[in-house]
Amino acid sequence: MPKVLIIATSPKTRGGITSVIKSHQKGDQWNTFHCKWIATHIDRNFIWKFIYLINGWLTYIILLPFYDIVHIHTSEPPSALRKCLFFPFAKLLRKKTIIHFHSFSPDSTIRGKYHRIYQYLFSHADKVVVLSQLWKKYVNDTFQLHDKVEIIYNPCIIIETNLKHTPQNYILYAGTINDRKGYADLIIAFSKIAKKHIDWNIVFAGNGEIEKGKQIAAELGISSQVEWLGWVDGEFKTNAFQNASIFCLPSYAEGFPMAVLDAWAYNLPVITTPVGGIPDIANEGENLMLFIPGDIESLATKLDLLISNKQLRIKISKGGYQLVNSIFNIQTINNKIEDLYLKLITNKKDDSNS
């Protein structure tokens, strides 16, 4: 059976790409195609990053002749630039190549000053995988790749929730705490209704601008209703989601947010923004609630409505949970990955026979 090299950030790195590939590892296709994950980056200091890159590159050069497909995961410019050290050798040895694009902003990537880097990677790849209809449009409008671009959503693992568990009165935010994710908007919006819902809190799970967030909460007089967990994983992550009553991600830009998929898997009602792949599946009031990024008044209204209406929370959480059992189901997504590999191998055989 043909073999696949996976080129991406380290399994020890925090973030969405790592979560996606770990989900792919759970699929039959991972063993069927003898997938090998080569790490090119880690969230540590410059020396460790350099060591990971060089070690990954050397491992890649040694293994490449024995593999058939190179599946490259990339996102923002530093990631794309690193992949340029790997990509040409795959083409030189006539390996089939996939660029799996996880970016959150076209302006910082395919339409920015690194436009030519992405043009090189995308135009020479055999397939380009994107996360949504919107990103397919962005890529085709920029590079006119058409049939080369395929949509494969990020996968979601179904969580067996404890039905006897009683959620606590808090709104969960999970992800990096930075301006792009809109964490400050959530604090400001909640401050407008905090006195009305004095028994409710916001819980932030993630690393980033925590001290700045604490300062904003203090200035608004709601420090006692805002909790900061830092980065969570494993049992701590499970507890954070399991105990929440509402999930909110006020992002300004996304590919397809893994945190929203996690929230659906934990049967949580979601408030978020129509960015990235969210519009592909959004059904307002049925599987989530939406507001325009930066519209703090609208966010405050949505929060107030969900806090006040338990039946609406139950309805929306059921709608989201149906999505993780259908189009985002991990088995469904891994089947699509397998189909993509098979398609490329079939094309490779056709090329060699022509």
Q: Contact, 1 vs 66, CB < 8 A? A: no
Give the tens place of pLDDT for each residue, 318-331.
Answer: 999 999 889 999 99
pLDDT of 350 strictly over 70: no
Average pLDDT over residues 183-212: 97
| 91-108 pLDDT per residue, tens | 999 999 999 999 989 999
Mean pLDDT of the chain: 93
Whether 344 maps to a domain, the answer reads yes
Alpha-carbon torsion angle 42, 101, 186, 197, nearest 10:
-100
The boundaries of the domain holding residue 309 are: 170-324
3-state helix, strand, coil in the chain (%, to 5): 50, 15, 35
Q: Is residue 162 predicted with pLDDT exceeding 80?
A: no
Residue 284 DSSP code? B
Tell me the whole-structure pTM to 2 decimals: 0.88
Residues 130 and 255 in one domain: no
What is the rounded distance in angstroms from the CA atom of residue 246 to the CA atom of residue 172?
6
Residues 338 and 318 placed together within one structural domain of the fold = no
> Which tens digits make up the pLDDT trace of 252-305?
999 888 899 999 999 999 999 999 899 999 899 899 999 999 999 999 999 999
* Pairwise CA distance, residues 202 & 228, whole Å: 9
For residues 135 and 197, membership in a common domain is answered with no
Q: Which two tokens stand for residue 219?
A: 């200035």
Q: Are residues 186 and 268 in the same domain?
A: yes
What percent of the chain stands above pLDDT 70?
96
Token digits of residue 349: 């055989």
Same domain for 346 and 252: no
Q: Are strands 149-151 and 127-130 parallel, antiparallel or unpaired?
A: parallel
Rounded Cα–Cα distance for residues 272 and 288 (Å) = 8
Residues 16 and 118 in one domain: yes
Quick: pLDDT tens for 106-135.
999 999 999 999 999 999 999 999 999 999
Q: Give the pLDDT confidence score for residue 159 in this predicted structure.
A: 74
Find the CATH number of the domain harbouring 228: 3.40.50.2000
Q: How far apart are CA 22 and CA 20, in angstroms?
A: 5
* DSSP annotation of 293: T
Residue 188 and residue 311 in one domain: yes
